[in-house]
Amino acid sequence: MIEAGSLKKGLKIEIDGEPYVITQFEFVKPGKGQALYKCKLKNMVTGVQFDKTWRSGDKIQPASLEEVEMEYLYQDGENYCFMNTATYDQEFLSAEQVGDARELIKENTVCSVLLFNGSPIGLTLPIFMDLRITKADPWVKGDTASGDTKPATLETGYVLQVPPFVEEGEKVRIDTRTGQYVERVKE
């Protein structure tokens, strides 16, 4: 159990059998009485947010979360199949659980899948991914009127802005945290 005095932003706790993450934290010491810990919590499965206040001395259950390396295999309708790289067990995550990662994920990508009580609730992509550009306008040397970037479509269907010298068919490195171009990848 965690003491209320140990609460902080980013801590993952369990309330009524559901995992929550503390998104905001405030310590309040009234003139008299016990100290209060006001928190804004976000459900890690449903995304629902609410406020909760604890008094000093209250005990909170930590969430039993585990991160496991899994390889993305394929998409089956709205579900995404992942294989545990250690045990070869397969787990399915819904499109909602995969979230924005579905715009950048491709087959055979090794990801970090978050498990709550043994079942998957979310995933984290590697920080950088190398993807091929399938569609980009050609660059005309000396064309400065169009600006310093142009739209490009990646093999996953994701569209982003790249420098004008990047051409169709080239591989580029993408920062998965921001979804932005980092650099060209030499093959």
| Residue-by-residue pLDDT tens, the chain, 187 positions | 888 888 888 888 999 888 998 999 999 888 888 889 999 999 888 888 999 999 888 899 998 888 899 999 998 888 999 999 899 999 898 888 888 888 889 899 999 988 888 888 888 889 999 999 999 888 766 666 556 888 999 998 999 999 888 888 999 999 988 889 999 888 7
pLDDT at 39: 93
Q: What dotted CATH number matches 128-185?
A: 2.40.50.140
Query: What top-level class would CATH report for the domain 2-62?
Result: mainly beta
pTM of the model: 0.71
Q: What's domain 65-124's superfamily in CATH?
A: Nucleic acid-binding proteins (2.40.50.140)
Alpha carbon distance 174, 180 (integer Å):
6
Query: Which residues in the chain are classed under CATH 2.40.50.140?
Result: 65-124, 128-185
pLDDT at 143: 60
Specify the pLDDT at position 56: 85
Q: Which residues of 55-77 are buried (b: 16+ CB within 10 A; e: fewer)?
A: eeebebeebebeebebbbeeeee
- Predicted pLDDT at 45: 81
What is the pLDDT at residue 128?
Answer: 93
Q: Which of 122, 117, 135, 145 is nearest to 172 (CA)?
A: 135
